[in-house]
């Protein structure tokens, strides 16, 4: 059946079973690469998107629950040519090894900065605590989020 969704401000429609996890629709139907499959169990955070401003695991969120929601993916933040302050900070800090978890880190950080524009380092650690990185890039990621917060403060 056709389900209507609003992604990055744009109305989209998809024909899929209502229980289809949002992750597969974003990736395969809307061709948005940002959200990643990591575990399919809401455990790792690689698939994080914002739904009405809340960081949500798209791998376990059925599309049928989202017809009235605003969905934001990392593609909605900015682009290579016009990166969002968080994306720019991740580039400046080179805050990735493999980069597979990066989407989730940035989207969780986006939720944090939206509600707390000047977080402390412990705030950042707490906000990202359930996003897993296996490469060991944690310190750079935390620096990138703090850098983005500082850049926010200047503008």
Does 55 interact with another protein (rule: CB under 8 A)?
no
Please, which residues have CB within 8 angstroms of residue 21's CB and are 6 or more apart in sequence? 40, 58, 59, 60, 61, 62, 63
Does 51 interact with another protein (rule: CB under 8 A)?
no
| Contact status, residue 105 vs residue 37, Cβ threshold 8 Å | no
Contact pick of 90, 109, 119, 148 for another protein (by CB under 8 A): 90
Q: How many residues touch another protein (CB under 8 A)? A: 50
Does 152 interact with another protein (rule: CB under 8 A)?
no
Binding mask 2-31 for another protein (x = CB under 8 A): --------------xx--xx--x--xx--x
Residue whose CB is less far from another protein, 6 or 88? 88
Does 36 interact with another protein (rule: CB under 8 A)?
yes
Rounded least distance, CB 154 to another protein, Å: 20
Q: Which stretch binds another protein (CB under 8 A): 50-58, 112-120, 128-136, 147-155?
A: 128-136
């Amino acid at each position: 059946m056709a389900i209507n969704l609003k992604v990055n401000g744009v109305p989209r429609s998809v024909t899929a079973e209502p229980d289809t996890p949002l992750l597969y629709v974003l990736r395969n139907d809307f061709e948005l690469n940002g959200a990643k499959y990591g575990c399919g169990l809401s455990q790792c955070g690689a698939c994080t998107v914002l739904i009405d401003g809340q960081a949500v695991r798209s791998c376990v969120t059925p599309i049928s629950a989202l017809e009235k929601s605003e969905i934001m993916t990392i593609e909605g933040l900015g682009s290579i040519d016009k990166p969002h302050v968080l994306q720019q900070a991740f580039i400046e800090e080179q805050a990735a090894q493999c980069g597979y978890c990066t989407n989730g880190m940035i989207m969780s950080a986006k939720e944090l900065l939206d509600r707390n524009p000047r977080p402390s380092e412990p705030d950042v650690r707490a906000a990202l605590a359930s996003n897993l990185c296996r490469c060991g890039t944690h310190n750079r990621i935390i620096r990138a989020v703090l850098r983005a917060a500082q850049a926010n403060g200047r503008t």
